[in-house]
Amino acid sequence: MIIRSAQELITSRTQTRSGFIEAALAKNEKGRPYIEQARTLRAYALTAENPQALLGIDAIRPALLTASGLSDKAFKYFTEADKTEAIRALIKNFLEPAGNEFAERTYISLSADQR
């Protein structure tokens, strides 16, 4: 393609708007699995008596690790004990202060981490 004038380099408002909408939809699609994971985490958390009880639910361990804020890449350098320590820090610093609302916090922490 040969550019004949500077005018040909200008993106129209409609094209720009369309690009932003497309990018937003792509973000939403990328985040969908994390939202589902957050819903599952919340459902299990609602069955727990307290935040510490979450450590005993193996089905949500991956979600708790994600909620702790550590990346998948970081986990390559972590032992299982290190991962448990990260979950304990999440519980102590974020879930326990929420009191009886800790189950809601699990959902919020996992959902927000993916934005």
pLDDT at res. 14: 95
Using DSSP's 3-state secondary structure scheme, residue 90 falls into helix
Model pLDDT for residues 25-69, shown as the tens digit of each residue: 999 999 888 888 888 888 999 999 999 999 999 999 988 998 898
Please say whether the beta carbons of 51 and 91 come within 8 A.
yes
Helices 13-47 and 102-113, axial angle in degrees (round to 10):
150
pTM (predicted TM-score): 0.69
Q: Please give the pLDDT value at position 79.
A: 94
Q: Report the alpha-carbon distance of residue 75 to residue 18 in Å, rounded.
A: 37
